[in-house]
Amino acid sequence: MRLGLWGVFLALTESCWCAPQQTCYPGDELLGRCNNNVTETKPTCTEMHLSYCNDVGYTRTMFPNILGHQTRMDAESGAEYLLLSVIHGLLNGECTPDIRLVGCSVLASPCQDDKIIRPCRSTCEALRKDCGHTFEAIDMAWPYFLDCDRFFASDQEGCFDPLAALRARQEQTRSSLSPDKPSTIIQFTHTSNSQMYSLLKRTAAKCSHISHVYSIGRSTEGRDLLVIEFSNNPGQHELLEPEVKLIGNMHGNEVLGRQLLIYLAQYLCSEYTLGNPRIQTLINTTRIHILASMNPDGYELAAAEGHLMNGWINGRTNAQNLDLNRNFPDLTSVFYRNRRSKHYRTDHIPIPDGYWFEKVAPETFAVMKWSRSIPFVQSASLHGGELVVSYPFDYSRHPQDEKMFSPTQDERVFKQLARTYADAHTTMSDTDTDRCGARFYRTKGIINGALWYSFPGGMSDFNYLHTNCLEITVELGCDKFPSEVELYPEWKRNKEALLKFVESVHRGIKGVVKDVDGNGIKDATIAVKGIRKDVTTDEGGDYWRLLTPGTHIVTATAKGYSRVSKRVHLPQNLKKAGRVDFVLKKVPLKPFIDDHFFPMTETWDRFDPYNQFERYTEPDVVEGGIERQTKPWWWSYFSQSGISAPNWLLRSV
Helix (H) or strand (E) holding 290: strand 287-291
Contact assessment for residue 474 and residue 389, using Cβ atoms and an 8 Å cutoff: yes
Q: What is the DSSP string of 109-120?
A: -BEETTEE-PBB
Question: Which one from 29, 80, 94, 475 is the annotated catalytic residue?
Answer: 475
- Considering all CA atoms of the chain, what is the largest pairwise distance in Å, rounded to the nearest integer? 97
SS3 call for 25: coil
Q: Give the chain's length.
A: 653
Q: Dihedral of the CA atoms 66, 71, 74, 75 (nearest 10)? A: 50
Distance, CA of 25 to CA of 28 (rounded, Å) = 6
Q: What angle do CA 452, 458, 460 make, to 5 degrees?
A: 85
To the nearest 10 degrees (0 to 180), the angle between helices 193-206 and 296-309 is: 110
Query: Which whole-number Å values give the CA distances from 182 to 96, 271, 308, 502, in the listed order?
Result: 21, 9, 29, 19
Contact assessment for residue 153 and residue 125, using Cβ atoms and an 8 Å cutoff: no
> Half-sphere exposure of 327 toward its Cβ, with a 13 Å CA cutoff?
22
Distance, CA of 101 to CA of 105 (rounded, Å) = 6
Q: What angle do CA 645, 646, 649 make, to 5 degrees?
A: 90
Q: What is the DSSP string of 192-261?
A: -HHHHHHHHHHHHHHTTTTEEEEEEEE-TTS-EEEEEEE-SSTTS--TT--EEEEEE-SSTT--HHHHHH
φ and ψ of 615, to 5 deg: -70, -35
Catalytic annotation on 475?
A: yes
| Long-range contacts at 86-90 (CB < 8 A, ≥ 24 apart) | 86/5, 86/8, 86/9, 89/1, 89/2, 89/5, 90/2, 90/5, 90/6, 90/9, 90/138, 90/140
Contact assessment for residue 570 and residue 508, using Cβ atoms and an 8 Å cutoff: yes
Comparing CA positions, the residue from 213, 203, 18 lying closest to residue 94 is: 203
Which are the catalytic amino acids? 475
